[in-house]
Amino acid sequence: MDIKGATAVVTGANRGLGRHLAEQLVQRGAKVYAAARRPETVDLAGVTPLRIDVTDDATIQEAARVASDATLLINNAGISLGTPLIAGDMKAVRAEMDTNYYGPLALTRAFAPVIEGNGGGAVLNILSVIAWWHPAEAGSYAASKAAAWAMSDAVREELAPRGITVSALHVGFMDTDMTANRPTADKADPAHIAAQALDGIEAGNPEILADDVTRQVKQGLSQAHALR
């Protein structure tokens, strides 16, 4: 799809990758609803702040009503709590699944008829290399992103006849608040990742592999599957 002239809804647009996505969408000629749980924290020029709590269906339904001209949904909002699946707090496990899987699914369900009614468009889900690589110390986050990867694939097939493409961005560490506790990690520039994501949407790519680590892990996954 063409970004210029599109109307985008970006969740988690008040900081990090979401803020870069919203900013670059405006620069490319899109109308942007910059969504956050607290819309007063959105400080970008040229966007319309929009309240969305991805764990609150009432805010999702209201957002779909307000952003009735949407043609692009970017499911960016997410959390990472560093929760192992056995030793971790089940409340944290549920919170990660609610935010990283059920939230994007609920948003896609709410906005699919809106996008279809506006002539079609696209959905982008912000995922992670950890959808394919599952360290025990972040088992809950990995499970939620793996679920979101499967959801992206299934929804892509389901929405294609309705004129809606579905892309999934996979990326490793980015220099955002979420990785502030890993000061020595090799982190990608979120502005660069945002540009790749928008290029991928315009190209209609089903998967966007944003860095070398992600490409290596995906290649290894493919090789392991071939050896079975």
Contact 67, 13 (CB under 8 A): no
For residue 24 the two structure tokens come to 């670059």
- Residue 178, pLDDT above cutoff 80: no
- Of the chain, the percentage scoring pLDDT greater than 70 comes to 91
Q: Which of 124, 12, 24 is nearest to 70 (CA)?
A: 124
- Residue 218, pLDDT above cutoff 90: no
Give the model's pLDDT for residue 227: 42
What is the torsional sign of CA 51, 52, 57, 63?
positive
* pTM (predicted TM-score): 0.92
Question: pLDDT higher for 155 or 222?
Answer: 155
Instruction: Give the pLDDT confidence of 58-104 residue by residue, as tens digits.
Output: 999 999 999 999 999 999 999 999 999 999 999 999 999 999 999 99
- Residue 45, pLDDT above cutoff 90: yes
Give the model's pLDDT for residue 175: 65
Provide the residue type at 171 as one letter. V
